[in-house]
A and B are shown apart, each in its own frame.
Chain A
Amino acid sequence: MSTLGFSEEQRDCLQEIINVAMGLASDKLARFLNTFVHLQVPSIALVGASHIPAEFENRYQDTEAALVSQGFFGNEGVRGEAIVLYQMENAHKISALLGYEVGDVSEIEMLTDISSILTTTFLNGLADQIENSLSYSAPRVLSSVKGDMSALLKNTSFHWEHALKVDISYQLIDHSFNCDMILLIPGEAVTNIQRILDRILEDY
């Protein structure tokens, strides 16, 4: 992951916090879905938000993909927008696990549910560790069509300075499920996160 003003200690600390958050999320999901959830250690990277569209353009170019956005805000200036990107075939897999039947709910509702669960379980785990608590706005599906992913990402990431990319790969007992999560955060949130990381580091 690029440094973007993060010291090596801060970087390691953040990676560790995210690993734990992901572990908490997968544990909760496993219990909720009643199935074993194995989670790979997520690789993270902190980049300028303007680089995001190009990075994801190739991966989602020729496939039916969905992009769901959900805002989050907590104390001490921790706020941002969580974007979950996935290929639709993956979304169909997990919808079956969530107990949806075909025709039961609209595809949009299914997408927002999945994304909201992934985002909020993960971010709650993250917030707990930094002694924060987050509120969320309702998730919005920005797109579920082919090919316009990069334009949408461009419009969405335009408002933000930094982006924390988190590759999420869930392995459910019979299924594997991949998606990308991008946390778009403003400059002052990065400063705040650094301060929180320093505080955690001091405690050790």
Chain B
Amino acid sequence: MPHAWLNSPILAQLNSGVIVVDDEYRIHYLNAFIERHASVQLSEVQGKSIFAVFADLPEAWLKRKLMSVLDLKTPAFSSWEQRQYIFKLPHLRPITSSSQYMAQNCSMLPLSSEQAEQPLICILIEDATDAFVYQQHLSKTLIELERANRQDGLTKVLNRRYWEEQLKQEIHRSQRYHHPLSLILFDLDKFKDLNDKYGHLGGDFVLVQLASFIGSLLRDSDLFGRYGGEEFGIILPDTSLDGAIEVAERICLAVAEYPMLFNQQTIRVSVSMGVAELIPKQHLLHDDLIRCADMALYNAKRAGRNRVCSYLAGETEYQKKVN
């Protein structure tokens, strides 16, 4: 079985793996790259089935590939992008890569040689770990970038742009499937006083704490975003006006009873909330729904803050100031 024509010094020095098998998948040759990475000796594995020597190979898949090489006398390929590795080999970049195994590009080539009695296949294994690592960094960065693009930097809830996009989509969905949809807009009461008393750091602290606390009271499907300054919005899919008022009342009460400790001082705050439900034929644009919730919020402020007001169908004017 040993083939003198394969014992070239170049193959031994090559920084890629070379394995030669026959039509019964028996190993005829492997080069030093494979010997060293897989801790095998050619003399010990020659003549053995490649599937016995490399027990982790995807056998059915590789057989189909090798069969096509033999039958069609054409090369077959495998890229790390589809199959990270075929041979479980360690790589030489242990710190920078999250993967334990060498990412590989493999070519399976029909080998025609007059010296060989049987049809042979040459399997070329190229180390693609670098490309794999770069790709992983890139994917991770893109995910972070996407999150940063959605999030409000301070409070970590959705930012206004993304939140409004979601509102448009939810309105579209609600109109198509005839599901109810409600919106809560709320505002932190007397935020200016907080800033004056505790400084901007104190004001920011309250916004962060409040956003995180209210976020914990919501369902996973609710979409919570910062509309601007101390004003926030919550999109409630599949929720009618009554349900949304209930949610708003619960949040309003919980916030009033939620003390926050800042620089050894307890801060207590309250919120005013406006609730509106989507009226399919009336609210054609997301701005229409926001305007209705905003009108209700304004009324909640006028009525003395720390309370919930809902928008009534047909209401077009802000209430006159109470008292």
Interface positions, chain B 73-122, Cβ under 8 Å from A, are: 73-79, 81-83, 105, 107
**Docked-complex contact A124 and B74, CB < 8 angstroms:** yes
Of B64, B73, B77, B78, which is in contact with the most chain A CB atoms at under 10 Å from its CB? B77
A31 to B67, CA, bound (A): 12
In the assembled complex, the Cα of A113 lies from the Cα of B71 at a distance in Å of: 14
What's the nearest-Cβ distance from chain A to residue B109, in Å?
Answer: 9
A109 at the interface (CB under 8 A from B): yes
Given A112-B77, A138-B107, the answer on whether A105 and B61 have CB atoms closer than 8 Å is yes
Which residue on chain B has the smallest CB distance to residue A138?
B77
Minimum C-beta distance from A2 to chain B (A): 30
Please measure, in the bound complex, the distance between the C-alpha atom of A177 and the C-alpha atom of B76, giving whole angstroms: 21
Does A121 touch B at the CB level, under 8 Å?
A: yes
| Shortest beta-carbon distance from A53 to chain B in Å | 26
A108–B71 Cα gap in the complex (Å)? Answer: 23
**Residue A157 CB within 8 A of the other chain:** no
Please state if B82 and A120 are interface contacts (CB–CB under 8 Å): no
Query: Would you give the shortest CB distance from B85 to chain A, in whole angstroms?
Result: 14
Q: Within the complex, what minimum Cβ distance (angstroms) separates B262 from chain A?
A: 51
Chain A residues with CB under 8 Å of B74's CB are: 116-117, 120-121, 124
Contact of B71 among A28, A112, A124 (CB under 8 A): A28
Does B82 lie within 8 Å of A109, measured CB to CB? yes
Identify which of B71, B75, B79 gathers the most chain A CB atoms within 10 Å of its CB: B75
Contacts A116-B74, A116-B75 known; A108 to B82 CB distance under 8 Å?
Answer: yes
A23 interface residue, CB < 8 Å from B?
no
- How many Å lie between the Cα of A30 and that of B40 in the bound state? 39
8 Å CB interface, A85-113 against B: 99, 104-106, 108-109, 112-113
Are A99 and B79 within 8 A (Cβ)? no
Q: A98 to chain B: closest CB distance in Å?
A: 8
Instruction: Tell me the nearest residue of chain B to A119, going by C-beta.
Output: B74
A106-B71 in contact given A99-B64, A116-B76, A139-B77 (Cβ < 8 Å): no
A204 within 8 A of B: no
Identify which of residues 275-315 in chain B touch chain A, using a CB-to-CB cut-off of 8 Å. none
> Is A6 at the interface (CB under 8 A from chain B)?
no
- With CB as the reference atom, state the residue of chain B lying closest to A139: B77
Which residues on the A side are within 8 Å of B107 (C-beta)?
138
Beta-carbon contact of B72 and A121 below 8 Å: yes
Q: Given the complex of chains A and B, what is the CA–CA distance between A190 and B76 in angstroms? A: 27
Set of chain B residues within 8 Å of A112, measured between Cβ atoms? 77, 79, 82
Within the complex, what minimum Cβ distance (angstroms) separates A14 from chain B?
A: 22
B77/A32 in contact, CB under 8 A:
no
Query: In the assembly, what is the distance between CA of A138 and CA of B73, in Å?
Result: 16
Task: Establish whether residues B82 and A117, one from each chain, have CB atoms under 8 Å apart when the complex forms.
Answer: no
CB contacts under 8 Å to B, within A128-177, are: 136, 138-139
Contacts of B61 in A (CB 8 A): 104-105
B 51-73 contacts with A by CB, 8 A: 61, 64, 67-68, 71-73
> How many angstroms from the CA of A116 to the CA of B82 in the assembled complex?
15
Asked if A116 contacts B77 (CB within 8 A), the reply is yes
List B contacts of A108 (CB < 8 A): 81-82
Task: Name, among A105, A108, A116, A138, the residue most crowded by chain B CB atoms within 10 Å (CB to CB).
Answer: A138
Q: Is the CB of A32 within 8 A of B68?
A: yes
Residues from chain B with Cβ under 8 Å of A31 in the complex: 71
For the complex, what is the distance from the CA of A28 to the CA of B74, rounded to whole Å?
10
Contacts of B82 in A (CB 8 A): 105-106, 108-109, 112
Sample of 4 further A-B pairs with CB below 8 A, known A121-B74, A138-B77: A32-B68, A109-B78, A124-B73, A139-B77
6 nearest A-B pairs in the assembled complex, by CB-CB distance: A120-B74, A138-B77, A109-B82, A32-B71, A28-B72, A106-B82
Binding site for A on B (CB under 8 A): 61, 64, 67-68, 71-79, 81-83, 105, 107
A-B contact list, 27 entries, CB within 8 Å? A28-B71, A28-B73, A29-B72, A31-B71, A32-B67, A32-B68, A32-B71, A99-B64, A105-B82, A106-B82, A109-B82, A109-B83, A112-B79, A112-B82, A116-B75, A116-B76, A116-B77, A117-B68, A117-B72, A117-B74, A120-B72, A120-B75, A121-B72, A124-B74, A138-B77, A138-B107, A139-B77
